């Protein structure tokens, strides 16, 4: 296996105010021989409420699809735990750039006519769903990359945030759009309202017991896809908590590189100090991440470690998703 990291933006291309020295990147998990890459590429976007990118929805998922014959990448995209700087289009621009950069790299290596799929979790699934319905809107400042399509060939949405409306996950919406988004922003980022005839096929799964992101989200997206005649699979498992990832323990050796921006923020918190962040939020962050314990993160909300696994049927979703993605082109 070849593993390496690539920053997706040059320094002069990226200026998000809460980056704290972080730049979004992809981590690659590639087969040594392209002949072993039987099913194309899988780009994984971890969840974390648009506050962070949690590790158990990153590397373990990439390795799972690597073993199924995909070359895999994990995207560490822009997030903000301070809630002081609404993300707006930045994460969408990140994933659009990642898709184009991967495609260009593969083309440069002589790999053509290859499928590229994206797989997201929770807020990361919202990011994937947003690219899935708005890929035409995502423009790249690099003229060469902008000529490459940002459209995924298929999308996996795992316990997704879909709507910014009544059934949204409020923390994700606040981090993305701020406390008082406009009606236009709410509609644009409510993915179920933006499905059209060019939307790629989607595999969706969630649990009926999801206590953080109402299961209504996945139903809204599935119905919108059905209404437009877009191939989709929709699995609602009856039991299980939010944030299950692969549905099994992934091991203590999971690399936590997806926390890069979060670690950078904590270093600045106890260094020169955070600017533009309300004093109350700064105190909350210091309580959450005590000085000297920055390496022992205990994120709030749905951004924690994998919950205990109660129902082994959850572990079937990667196999089901792989089967769906393998068949969609045959049955179109």
Answer yes or no: are the C-beta atoms of 33 and 280 closer than 8 Å. no
pLDDT in the model for residue 101: 98
pLDDT in the model for residue 299: 46
Digitized pLDDT (tens) for each residue of the chain, 332 residues in all: 999 999 999 999 999 999 999 999 999 999 998 666 679 999 999 999 999 999 999 999 999 999 999 999 999 999 999 999 999 999 999 999 999 999 999 999 989 889 999 999 999 999 999 999 999 999 999 999 999 999 999 999 999 999 999 999 999 999 999 999 999 999 999 999 999 999 999 999 999 999 999 999 999 999 999 999 999 999 999 999 999 999 887 666 789 999 999 999 999 999 999 999 999 999 999 999 988 655 455 444 444 455 555 578 999 999 999 999 999 866 65
pLDDT in the model for residue 311: 74
Instruction: Return the axis-axis angle of helices 59-67 and 317-331, rounded to nearest 10°.
Output: 60
pLDDT in the model for residue 37: 67
Question: According to CATH, what is the number of the domain 2-331?
Answer: 3.40.50.1820
Phi, psi of 105 (to 5 degrees): -60, -40
pLDDT in the model for residue 192: 98
pLDDT in the model for residue 278: 97
pLDDT in the model for residue 328: 84
Q: Which residue ranges make up each domain of the chain?
A: 2-331
């Amino acid at each position: 296996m070849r593993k390496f990291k690539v920053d997706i933006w040059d320094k002069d291309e990226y200026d998000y105010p809460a980056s704290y020295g972080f730049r979004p990147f992809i981590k690659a998990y590639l087969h040594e021989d392209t002949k072993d890459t039987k099913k194309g590429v899988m780009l994984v976007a971890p969840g974390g409420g648009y506050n962070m990118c949690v590790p158990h929805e990153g590397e373990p998922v990439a390795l799972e699809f690597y073993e199924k014959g995909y070359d895999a990448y994990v995207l560490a995209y822009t997030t903000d735990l301070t809630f002081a700087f609404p993300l707006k289009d930045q994460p969408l621009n990140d994933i659009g750039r990642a898709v184009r950069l991967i495609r260009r790299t593969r083309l440069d290596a002589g790999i053509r006519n290859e499928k590229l799929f994206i797989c997201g979790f929770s807020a990361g699934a919202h990011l994937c769903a947003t690219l899935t319905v708005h890929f035409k809107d995502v423009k790249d400042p690099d003229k060469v990359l902008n000529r490459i399509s940002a459209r995924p060939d298929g999308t996996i949405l795992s316990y997704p945030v879909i709507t910014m409306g009544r059934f949204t996950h409020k923390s994700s919406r606040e981090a993305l759009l701020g406390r008082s988004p406009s009606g236009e922003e709410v509609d644009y980022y409510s993915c179920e309202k933006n499905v059209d005839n060019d939307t790629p096929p989607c595999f969706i799964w969630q649990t009926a017991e999801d206590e953080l992101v109402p299961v209504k989200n996945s139903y809204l997206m599935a119905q919108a896809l059905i209404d437009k005649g877009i191939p989709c699979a929709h699995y609602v498992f009856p039991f299980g908590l939010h944030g299950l990832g692969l549905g099994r323990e992934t091991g203590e050796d999971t690399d936590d590189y997806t926390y890069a921006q979060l670690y950078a923020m904590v270093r600045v918190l106890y260094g020169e100090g955070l600017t533009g962040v309300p004093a109350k939020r700064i105190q909350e962050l210091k309580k959450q991440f005590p000085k000297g314990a920055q390496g022992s993160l205990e994120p709030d909300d749905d951004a924690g470690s994998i919950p205990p696994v109660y129902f082994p049927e959850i572990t079937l979703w990667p196999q089901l998703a792989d089967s769906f993605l393998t068949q969609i082109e045959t049955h179109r």
